[in-house]
Structure 1
Amino acid sequence: MFKEFKIEKITIPLYSPQNNPIERPNKVIKTMIAQLCGNNHKKWDSYLPELIHAMNTSNHDST
Structure 2
Amino acid sequence: MSKSEVAKICPLCGQHNNCKHGEGGCWCDTVKFPKYILDLIPSDKRGKACICKSCLEKYQK
TM-score by length of 1: 0.28
Q: Which one has a larger percent helix, Structure 1 or Structure 2?
A: 1
TM-score by length of 2: 0.28
Larger Rg: 1
- Which one scores higher on RCO, CA 8 angstroms, separation ≥ 6? 2
